[in-house]
């Protein structure tokens, strides 16, 4: 009935628009509730080296809303970003990742694993973001060298000077950076050189048609050649087939992530899934 009340009050909007606003507000309220109720969960997708050894994981956010099941990030991250809720949510992701790293470090067979997490623009550009990372590392006792932050080109480009400065502060803690979805943005080579990155992550759209589109194959090879000359590691995301893995391997890409190797899963499945 709240819906009806809203409809009568706000006369400027058509019923369809009002419904959209109502559902947006309902979703925002639900997101706030999700933080309080602990409905977020980090899934872990394994990353492998050329010898088939597990080298780490990417943490991927999931929302387990009672009665709705598992909700993927594309359905709630945009609204979380608009409303600013991405700040506490992103903080939860960092804290959870650091705790997981510490748990891995405490076990001999997982202590070498790296964990990458995605950071959104608003989160990254907080003036105290570096201090927050430092505090989370300290609280958890996780080794900063095992933590990787994934940024997209647009996050960095939004305010390049501030971003580079921010990255240097965080790098000084021992944390490393990966440039996510690489190849879909606008980075020029000279610009890329100024970012304190350790890794490029080849966007999965380039792998999709690699067998049939010679341009995509050429782009992947160019990214690999460029990374070599800049001294950057490369990981391919979205590797779904053995043919894609072989192409990447033969082109000199030595780290992989994708359904071919393992899907994102809750941590409970980590030790049984795609064990090498
Ligand atoms: P991303 O960082 O580029 O993550 C890779 C996405 O590709 C993930 O989607 C993953 O599940 C999916 N993926 C992995 N392997 C394959 C494959 O072989 N084939 C295909 N088709 N897809 C594959 P997901 O988990 O739905 O996440 C989507 C995006 O949401 C992420 O893209 C990232 O930008 C964002 N995201 C996820 N978690 C977080 C988070 O904790 N914070 C923020 N700010 N953004 C997040
Ligand atoms: Mg990512
Ligand atoms: Mg990506
Ligand atoms: Mg992507």
| Interval between CA 13 and ligand 4 midpoint (Å) | 36
Q: Is 6 in the pocket of ligand 1 (CB under 6 A)?
A: no
In degrees and rounded to multiples of 5, residue 141 shows phi and psi of 80, 10
Q: Which tens digit of pLDDT belongs to each residue from 52-79?
A: 999 999 999 999 999 999 999 999 999 9
Q: Is 45 in the pocket of ligand 1 (CB under 6 A)?
A: yes
Which residue from 57, 73, 244 has its CB within 8 A of the most atoms of ligand 1, so it is best to mutate? 73
Q: Which residues, 6+ apart, have CB-to-CB distance to 71 below 8 Å?
A: 62, 63, 64, 65
Q: What is the pTM of this model?
A: 0.93
Say what the pLDDT of residue 2 is.
Answer: 47
Q: Dihedral angle at the C-alpha atoms of 267, 269, 272, 275, nearest 10 degrees?
A: -60
Residue nearest ligand 1's atom 4 by CA: 60
Q: What is the DSSP string of 15-69?
A: HHHHHHHHHHHHHHHHHHHHHHHT-EEEEEEEEEETTS-EEEEEEEEEEEETTTE
Say what the pLDDT of residue 45 is.
Answer: 98
Low-confidence ranges of the chain (pLDDT < 70): 1-12, 187-188, 272-276
Alpha-carbon span 119 to 63, nearest angstrom: 17
| Interval between CA 202 and ligand 3 midpoint (Å) | 8
Say what the pLDDT of residue 193 is.
Answer: 86
The H or E element spanning position 177 is strand 176-182
265 secondary structure, DSSP code: B
In degrees and rounded to multiples of 5, residue 55 shows phi and psi of -110, -15
Say what the pLDDT of residue 23 is.
Answer: 86
Name the token pair of 76: 């709630």
The complex scores an ipTM of 0.98
Say what the pLDDT of residue 86 is.
Answer: 98
Say what the pLDDT of residue 5 is.
Answer: 52
Alpha-carbon Rg for the chain in angstroms? 20
Residue nearest ligand 1's atom 37 by CA: 60
Are 99 and 140 in contact by the 8 Å Cβ rule? The answer is yes
Residue nearest ligand 1's atom 33 by CA: 118
């Amino acid at each position: 009935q709240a819906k009806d009340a809203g409809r009568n009050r706000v006369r400027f909007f058509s019923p369809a628009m009002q419904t959209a606003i109502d559902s947006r507000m309902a979703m925002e309220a639900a997101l706030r509730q999700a933080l309080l109720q602990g409905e977020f969960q980090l899934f872990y997708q394994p990353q492998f080296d050329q010898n088939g050894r597990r080298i780490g994981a990417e943490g991927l956010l999931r929302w387990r809303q009672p009665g709705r099941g598992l909700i993927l990030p594309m359905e709630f991250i945009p609204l979380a970003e608009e409303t600013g809720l991405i700040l506490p949510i992103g903080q939860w992701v960092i804290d959870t990742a650091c705790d997981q790293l510490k748990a891995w470090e405490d076990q001999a067979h997982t202590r070498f694993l790296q964990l990458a997490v995605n950071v959104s623009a608003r989160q990254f550009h907080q003036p105290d973001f570096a201090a927050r990372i430092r505090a989370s590392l300290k609280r958890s006792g996780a080794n900063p060298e095992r933590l990787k932050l994934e940024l997209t080109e647009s996050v960095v480009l939004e305010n390049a000077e501030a971003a580079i400065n921010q990255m240097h502060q965080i790098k000084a803690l021992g944390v490393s950076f990966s440039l996510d979805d690489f190849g879909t943005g606008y980075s020029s080579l000279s610009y890329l050189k100024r970012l304190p990155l350790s890794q490029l992550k080849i966007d999965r759209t380039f792998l999709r048609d690699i067998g049939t589109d010679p341009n995509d194959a050429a782009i992947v090879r160019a990214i690999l050649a460029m990374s070599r000359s800049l001294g950057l590691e490369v990981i391919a995301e979205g590797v779904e087939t053995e043919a894609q893995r072989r192409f990447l391997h033969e082109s000199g890409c030595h780290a992989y992530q994708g359904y071919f190797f393992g899907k994102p899963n809750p941590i409970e499945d980590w030790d049984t899934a795609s064990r090498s």
